[in-house]
């Protein structure tokens, strides 16, 4: 049975001052060039927002977390959090490119110096895109320790076979981080051992061991399934030590949860602002519908939930920046932010009534996009399980 974790008192200073007002304003200016019509068109044809990604790259925002010595902006996680929040608060969607912010963290923390100098500057400049992460498999879902993709050493190379699913942006990425077993599960004493991370160059791999097929989905995240057949990957592309890859990806999951929570906060702010404006403008029975408590109260409650969730996001970010354990905080932030966003989405949809289904209002698009936050990159149930077992010391629930 697990026991509640203990640590030193949580004296973490969280400053609530300007909070990157200059970055917020800059991101809003960029997003103003990409109104709802732009995203509706992409949604209709399942397109990729190349122009939007290019604008963010040119502004240096996709390389925000890459240290300056490798050509990035060297900004802290809170700055990246603000960037993604503002993108979503403006009605845009960072799902097409947000992974470039945090996927590189595995390479930055665990890659060799040669790998970092070879790839990070080009990722920061936009010359290379690292937006795909091949982890999930059709038969294993969230149980990463049971992945079946296999990498076998063959001289100076690895030969990899397997299949990945829900690998978003693979068709629009030059590089992909790939998780594979280098030691079969039945041969390791600890199920998290024997898993390795590889950096795959999709520019040469496609047609030579990699096939990428798009998956039509409810939201336009350009997600795919990846089939790997005798793919030859140089041993030089192994990130870190063989067999230690599971720990490497765990290192990046807290940042991922915090950044996705920030996007959810942005979504919630968009829904609340949109719902309140419509509630003030829409006149029924001779008065604005926002005057009715049945309309006003759900919006007000969503606002309160969003403010509380944002404080949890900021706490998690502060602990991450301080180098403290932030697993509890990052997971709770993701849980609360995704739920606040969904409640705001529901309030906004209900406030708009039938017009909420009209594409021109963008409510139905954002409503669909927002729902995934309770499923990916980690489901709410898995977060509750984590809290129950690792924070409260309760028995494993599965």
Using one digit for the tens of pLDDT, what is the confidence trace for 158-172? 999 999 999 999 999
Using one digit for the tens of pLDDT, what is the confidence trace for 94-153? 988 888 888 899 999 999 999 999 999 999 999 999 999 999 999 987 788 999 999 999
pTM (2 d.p.): 0.92
Task: Give residue 1's pLDDT.
Answer: 44
Please state, in angstroms and rounded to a whole number, the distance separating the CA atoms of residues 370 and 345. 7
The contacts of residue 164 (CB under 8 Å, 6+ apart) are 134, 135, 136, 137, 149, 178, 225, 226, 228
Written as six digits, the tokens of 194 are 């024997």
Of 257, 260, 220, give the one whose Cα is nearest residue 84.
260
Task: Give residue 252's pLDDT.
Answer: 83
Domains of the chain: 21-125 (1.10.540.10), 130-244 (2.40.110.10), 247-391 (1.20.140.10)
* SS3 annotation, 254-295: HHHHHHHHHHHHHHHHHHHHHHHHHHHHCEECCEEHHHCHHH
Task: Give residue 4's pLDDT.
Answer: 53
Please state, in angstroms and rounded to a whole number, the distance separating the CA atoms of residues 187 and 207. 32
Using one digit for the tens of pLDDT, what is the confidence trace for 86-103? 999 999 999 888 888 888
Task: Give residue 398's pLDDT.
Answer: 60
Task: Give residue 2's pLDDT.
Answer: 46
Q: Locate all alpha helices (DSSP H) within the chain, ordered by sequence.
A: 21-32, 36-45, 50-58, 77-89, 99-102, 104-110, 113-125, 202-205, 245-281, 293-321, 327-352, 363-371, 380-386
Task: Give residue 138's pLDDT.
Answer: 93
């Amino acid at each position: 049975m697990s026991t509640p974790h203990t640590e030193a008192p949580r004296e973490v200073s969280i400053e609530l001052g300007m909070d990157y007002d200059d970055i917020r304003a800059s991101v809003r200016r960029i997003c103003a060039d990409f109104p709802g019509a732009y995203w509706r068109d992409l949604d209709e044809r399942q397109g990729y927002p190349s122009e939007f990604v290019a604008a963010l790259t040119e502004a240096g925002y996709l390389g925000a977390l890459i240290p300056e010595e490798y050509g990035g902006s060297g900004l802290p996680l809170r700055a990246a959090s603000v960037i993604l929040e503002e993108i979503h608060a403006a009605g845009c969607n960072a799902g097409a490119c947000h992974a470039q912010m945090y996927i590189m963290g595995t390479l930055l923390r665990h890659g060799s110096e040669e790998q970092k100098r070879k790839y990070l500057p080009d990722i920061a400049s936009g010359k290379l895109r690292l937006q795909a992460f091949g982890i999930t498999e059709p038969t294993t879902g969230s149980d990463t320790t049971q992945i079946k993709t296999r990498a076998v050493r063959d001289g100076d190379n690895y030969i990899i076979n397997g299949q990945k699913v829900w690998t978003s942006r693979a068709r629009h990425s030059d590089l992909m981080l790939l998780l594979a077993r280098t030691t079969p599960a039945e041969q390791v004493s600890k199920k998290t051992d024997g898993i390795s991370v590889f950096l795959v160059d999709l520019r040469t791999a496609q047609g030579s061991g990699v096939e990428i097929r798009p998956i039509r989905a409810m939201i336009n995240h350009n997600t795919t399934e990846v089939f790997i057949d005798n793919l030859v990957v140089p041993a030089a592309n192994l990130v870190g030590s063989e067999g230690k890859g599971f720990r490497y990806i765990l290192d990046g999951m807290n940042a991922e949860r915090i950044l996705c929570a920030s996007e959810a906060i942005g979504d919630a702010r968009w829904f609340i602002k949109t719902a309140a404006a419509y509630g003030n403008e829409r006149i029924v029975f001779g008065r604005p519908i926002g005057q009715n408590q049945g309309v006003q109260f759900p919006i007000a409650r969503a606002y309160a939930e969003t403010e509380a969730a944002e404080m949890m996001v900021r706490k998690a970010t502060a602990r991450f920046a301080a180098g403290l354990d932030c697993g509890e905080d990052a997971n709770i932030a993701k849980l609360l932010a995704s739920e606040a966003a969904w409640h705001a989405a529901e309030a906004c949809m209900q406030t708009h009534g039938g017009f909420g289904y009209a594409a021109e209002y963008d409510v139905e698009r954002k409503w669909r996009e927002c729902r995934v936050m309770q499923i990916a990159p980690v489901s709410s149930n898995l977060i509750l399980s984590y809290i129950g077992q690792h924070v409260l010391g309760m028995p494993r629930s599965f």
